Amino acid sequence: SQQGEEDPQALSIQEGENATMNCSYKTSINNLQWYRQNSGRGLVHLILIRSNEREKHSGRLRVTLDTSKKSSSLLITASRAADTASYFCATDQSGYSTLTFGKGTMLLVSP
């Protein structure tokens, strides 16, 4: 069953704008991860945030985690056309990295 659910399903913005994607989940977690997938390719890990962390940064990425609301957000600042991809959140409940993925947000960044 789906643990993480991303919102929105699709997002279209202009270059230079910020993109925010949200993820909600149902059960307690060890950590939450965000991945990126270009069409027809494998997934690339972006950032991991542990259950005892509230915010994490990596370059133009900012991830927040609210365990009381069982939700997370991914912010991409100053988007570029190259950021066009699908973004997935994934939760690790087991501690064995048996990640449960959401359906993803398709991000389109237009030049």
Partner 1 sequence: SQTIHQWPATLVQPVGSPLSLECTVEGTSNPNLYWYRQAAGRGLQLLFYSVGIGQISSEVPQNLSASRPQDRQFILSSKKLLLSDSGFYLCAWTPEPSGKLFFGSGTQLSVL
Return the residue matching tokens 């927040």: 64
Sign of torsion, CA 4 8 11 17?
Answer: negative
Closest to partner 1 by CB, 76 vs 102, is 102
Q: Is position 25 an interface residue for partner 1 (rule: CB under 8 A)?
A: no
DSSP label at 100? E
Which pair of tokens denotes residue 17?
Answer: 């704008």
Q: Long-range contact list for 54-62, CB < 8 A, 24+ apart?
A: 61/34
* Smallest gap from residue 79 Cβ to partner 1 (A): 22
Q: By three-state DSSP, how is residue 69 classified?
A: coil
First to last CA, the chain: 37
Return the residue matching tokens 């133009």: 60
From the list 18-26, 58-66, 72-80, 98-106, the region that binds partner 1 by CB under 8 A is 98-106
Q: Is position 12 an interface residue for partner 1 (rule: CB under 8 A)?
A: no
Q: Which of 21, 92, 107, 109 binds partner 1 (CB under 8 A)?
A: 92
Site string for partner 1, 41-80 (x = CB under 8 A): xxxxx--x--------------------------------
Q: Which residue ranges make up the site for partner 1 (CB under 8 A)?
A: 2, 4, 30-31, 33, 35, 40-45, 48, 88, 90, 92, 95-104
